[in-house]
């Protein structure tokens, strides 16, 4: 770890970058110019990222942007989701929030509606509203152990009674080159928080920096490299595994840059965009459906260990059948009438393919009465 905490290094560097643009903090990314036209130049010049998760949003969705900075992705997302959608940006840096909040009315005037708000918080602790903490502490300095304990109690009460982002309250969580900046000791909590705030069936679309090898301790202690989106990057396979361990399903790479963004001491760092789904919370005890995996692979294995061989008939529960009818599984399975004896019932656990086809065929599985 850096001598100063990773969070302090990040906060100081990005506060400075909110005042004076720093080219080293971003990768070259092509954004849709239609959406950029409505965004003030100040926002664009002082925004730092490595991808464009807004490309995978849909009209009407409620979107949470983690580490929203000056607001570029949030303002793009606001136009994609439209007036029936909503966008919430979360950032911990006052200087970044000031730019975003000051420019929000200008963007709203240009696009004809206001559907964006910016909140102060840490993305690994989406329960705690730091503006609310500041308001509660105004005139109440933390000047001793008792006051510190009272602060802890205050934080717990705010998380419980007035969370920054409530449980199961958003359709999509996006982030652009921010997860790597979180302290390694808090990354597990970060992924759990993303899962917590998503509605059943919701998804995360995360653009971030990953690396091909483990980052050595000497680099991890370098505050400049950590705050520069290098030292805190997860190894590519472990980045995907972190979603899996947090309970996500249907995890897949939407985009992977062939060329590394940087190479440091022989280690390649590149940008990826990952999509991961939160499964339904419904019990899997409805009438079973019989499904056939259509290919193109000979066999797919769910994270729970269940195997689906191409062409075999397998009985699944109603929840699983419903999930097979929606992205990213839609088109991979087909519901069929049972033939003879009931097929083997597959445990409905861990609905994430180890491999996912790049394209799907038309049609779904058991959603929308397809198995009726």
Amino acid 38: pLDDT: 97
Neighbour tally for 367: CB within 10 Å: 16
- Which residue matches tokens 């808090």? 186
Question: pLDDT per residue over 40-76, tens digit each?
Answer: 999 998 888 899 999 999 999 999 999 999 999 999 9
- Residue that the structure tokens 């730019």 belong to: 99
- Work out the pLDDT band at 356, boundaries 50, 70, 90: very low
Q: Sort strands 198-211 and 234-235 into parallel, antiparallel or unpaired.
A: parallel
What pLDDT is attached to residue 26?
Answer: 64
Domain ranges of the chain: 6-127+163-277, 289-369
So what's the pLDDT on residue 363? 39
Q: Does the structure show a pLDDT above 50 at 362?
A: no
Whether the pLDDT of residue 216 is over 50: the answer is yes
Q: What is the pLDDT of residues 82-129, one digit of tens each?
A: 999 999 999 999 999 999 999 999 999 999 999 999 999 999 999 999
Give, in degrees to the nearest 5, the angle at Cα 286 between 281 and 288: 115
Q: Tell how strand 267-277 and strand 299-301 pair up.
A: unpaired
Residue with tokens 């509605």: 199
Mean pLDDT of 126-145: 90
The mean pLDDT value of the chain amounts to: 86
Would the pLDDT of 345 be above 60? no
Q: Does domain 6-127+163-277 have CATH number 3.40.50.150?
A: yes
Angle at 157 between CA 155 and CA 161, to 5 degrees: 125
CA distance 307 to 314: 10
Q: What is the mean pLDDT of residues 19-41?
A: 82
Q: How many helices (H) and strands (E) does the chain have?
A: 12, 14
| pLDDT tens track for 179-189 | 999 999 999 99
Give the model's pLDDT for residue 20.
64
Among residues 115, 75, 118, which one has the least CA distance to residue 95?
118
Tokens found for residue 247: 């309970």
Distances (CA, A) of 129 to 9, 147, 371: 21, 19, 45
**Element containing residue 243 per DSSP (H, E):** helix 236-245
CA–CA gap between residue 66 and residue 125 (Å, rounded): 11
Q: What is the pTM of this model?
A: 0.87
Task: Answer yes or no: is pLDDT of 353 > 70.
Answer: no
Instruction: Answer yes or no: is pLDDT of 22 > 70.
Output: no
């Amino acid at each position: 770890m850096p001598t100063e905490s990773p969070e302090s290094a990040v906060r100081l560097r990005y506060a400075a970058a909110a005042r004076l643009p720093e080219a080293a903090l971003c990768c070259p990314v092509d954004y849709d110019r239609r959406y950029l036209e409505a965004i003030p130049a100040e926002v664009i010049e002082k925004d730092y990222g490595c991808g464009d998760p807004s490309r995978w949003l849909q009209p009407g969705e409620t979107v949470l942007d983690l580490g929203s900075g000056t607001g570029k992705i949030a303002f793009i997302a606001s136009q994609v989701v439209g007036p029936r959608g909503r966008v919430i940006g979360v950032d911990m840096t006052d200087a970044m929030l000031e730019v975003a909040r000051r420019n929000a009315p200008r963007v709203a005037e240009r696009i004809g509606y206001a559907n964006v708000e910016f909140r102060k918080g840490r993305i690994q602790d989406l329960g705690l509203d730091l503006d609310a903490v500041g308001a509660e502490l105004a005139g109440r300095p933390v000047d001793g152990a008792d006051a510190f304990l009272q602060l802890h109690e205050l934080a717990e009460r705010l998380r419980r009674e007035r969370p920054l982002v409530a449980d199961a309250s958003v359709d999509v969580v996006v982030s652009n080159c921010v997860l790597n900046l979180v302290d390694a000791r808090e990354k597990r909590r970060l992924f759990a928080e993303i899962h917590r705030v998503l509605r059943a069936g919701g998804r995360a679309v995360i653009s971030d920096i990953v690396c091909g090898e483990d980052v050595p301790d000497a680099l991890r202690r370098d505050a400049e490299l950590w705050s520069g989106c290098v030292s805190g990057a997860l190894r590519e396979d472990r980045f995907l595994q972190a979603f899996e361990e947090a309970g996500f399903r249907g995890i897949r790479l939407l985009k992977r840059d062939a060329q590394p963004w940087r190479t440091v001491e022989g280690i390649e760092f590149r940008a990826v965009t990952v999509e991961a789904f939160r499964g339904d919370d419904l019990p899997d005890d409805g009438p079973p459906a019989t499904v056939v995996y259509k290919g193109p692979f000979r066999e797919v294995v769910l994270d729970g260990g269940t195997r689906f061989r191409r062409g075999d008939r397998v009985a699944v529960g109603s929840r699983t059948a419903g999930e097979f009818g929606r992205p990213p599984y839609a088109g991979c399975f087909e519901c069929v009438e049972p033939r003879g004896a009931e097929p083997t019932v597959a445990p409905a656990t861990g609905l994430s393919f180890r491999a996912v086809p790049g394209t799907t065929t038309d049609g779904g599985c058991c959603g929308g009465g397809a198995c009726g």
